[in-house]
Amino acid sequence: MTSLAVHLPGLPLKNPIMPASGCFGFGREFSQFYDLSKLGAVIMKAATGEARYGNQTPRVAETSAGMLNAIGLQNPGVESIIQTEVPFLANYNTSIIANIAGSTISEYKMVAEKFNQTKDVHALEVNISCPNVKEGGIQFGTDPVMAAKVTEAVKEVSNLPVYVKLSPNVTDITSMASAVASAGADGLSMVNTLTGMKINLSKRKPLLANKTGGLSGPAIKPVALRMINEVKQQVNLPIIGMGGIASAEDVLEFLIAGADAVAVGTANFQNPFICSEIIDQLPVILEQYGYSSIQEVIGKGARI
């Protein structure tokens, strides 16, 4: 059988498939469906310095081939995650990636530092692109200077590989990527959600309590692919690609466009087995399109 192993700097993965942050909780619910050891990695829900409640409900809305969410980074706080969630995931033979967020650079730094002291976390994904919080989040993700500062701060306190998660809500994604690359990022995660809105016609106002939310799902796939390809041509960093992936064919599209591994988000809600099924399908699809290994697909994105 085709080996699916991919080698990201500091983060070798048995396969390039992982659930995206916020779409898999901390894995507990999905562990009842299949063995999480099958996954290349698990990206945990965002962690902040303290527990957060998040936004008012409704927090999700359905759109054509997509959904809006405005969870607002609800999470039990980094301490609690390290005490109860990381040990649970550590039972499985998979890599653990901690998604970190904050309102200030020092909060990012503090959260990164805590995870760095935990032996079971294998990489950090720095979420500078959450559109659903008033402070931090997307502000860091739309200004190259701020993005670089967050990256530097996290790198300072961390020996783990640092993936910076970029927002697609920008004019020039390559300047964001270059800025975090110069600041020392080990890799990129692309993309987070596009900010969107839906109107509740009966109530004559936005459906989400937060008014706007992040658009995810197949609707955004073309934008994700374009941005990944654009960045791949100019910035020499590995990319964890995401945005609307729902099949092994989608994974292949992302790898050809320039991703080195991928994350699956919203599709987990439609089909909780999706990551497992994609891992099963991937060798079949690779063969169908004439590839003899996953390495043959990866890394050519800059030249397509």
Partner 1 sequence: MIQKETVTVKSSKTVALNTTELILQNEYLSQSANPGQFIHVYIDGFMLRRPISIADVNKKEQTITILFKQSGKGTEKIASYQPGNMIDVLGPCGNGFPLESTDDKILLIGGGIGVPPLYYFGKKMSETGKEIISILGFQSKKDLFYEQEFQQLGTTYIVTNDGTYGDKGFVTSLFNKLENYDSYYACGPIPMLKAVKKELPNKVGYLSIEERMGCGIGACFACVIPTTDQTGYKKICKDGPVFSAQEVLL
Ligand X SMILES: Cc1cc2nc3c(=O)[nH]c(=O)nc-3n(C[C@H](O)[C@H](O)[C@H](O)COP(=O)(O)O)c2cc1C
- Catalytic residue set: 130
Contact (Cβ atoms closer than 8 angstroms) between residue 244 and residue 218:
yes
Contact (Cβ atoms closer than 8 angstroms) between residue 285 and residue 2:
no
CA 169 from chain center: how many Å? 15
Please list every residue from 144 through 183 that binds its own copies, using CB under 8 A.
169-172
What whole-number distance in Å separates Cα of residue 225 and Cα of residue 253? 8
Partnered with residue 126 across adjacent β-strands are 100, 164
CA 109 from chain center: how many Å? 19
203 touches partner 1 (CB under 8 A):
no
**Residue nearer to its own copies on the CB measure, 88 or 289:** 289
131 touches partner 1 (CB under 8 A):
no
Give min distance, CB of 190 to partner 1, in A: 21
Query: Contact with ligand X (CB under 6 A): which of 72, 141, 244, 258?
Result: 244
Q: Before 191, cis peptide (omega within 30)?
A: yes
196 touches its own copies (CB under 8 A):
yes
Q: HEC string of 230-260?
A: HHHCCCCCCEEECCCCCCHHHHHHHHHHCCC
Query: Contact with partner 1 (CB under 8 A): which of 2, 5, 10, 63?
Result: 63
* Per-position b or e across 53-75, b if 16+ CB within 10 A of its CB: eebeebbebebeebbbbbbbbbb
Partnered with residue 164 across adjacent β-strands are 126, 188
Please list every residue from 204 through 243 that binds its own copies, using CB under 8 A.
204-206, 211-212, 215, 217-223, 225-226, 229
165 touches ligand X (CB under 6 A):
yes
**Residues of the shown chain interacting with partner 1 in the complex, contacts defined by CB under 8 A:** 22-25, 28-30, 32-33, 45, 51, 53-54, 57-63, 65-67, 69, 71, 74-75, 217, 266, 268-273
Residues that bind its own copies (CB under 8 A): 63-66, 68, 142, 169-172, 194-199, 201-202, 204-206, 211-212, 215, 217-223, 225-226, 229, 244, 249, 252-253, 256-257, 289, 300, 304
Binding positions for ligand X, rule: CB under 6 A: 20-23, 45-46, 69, 71, 73, 99, 127, 130, 165, 192-193, 216-217, 220, 242-245, 264-267
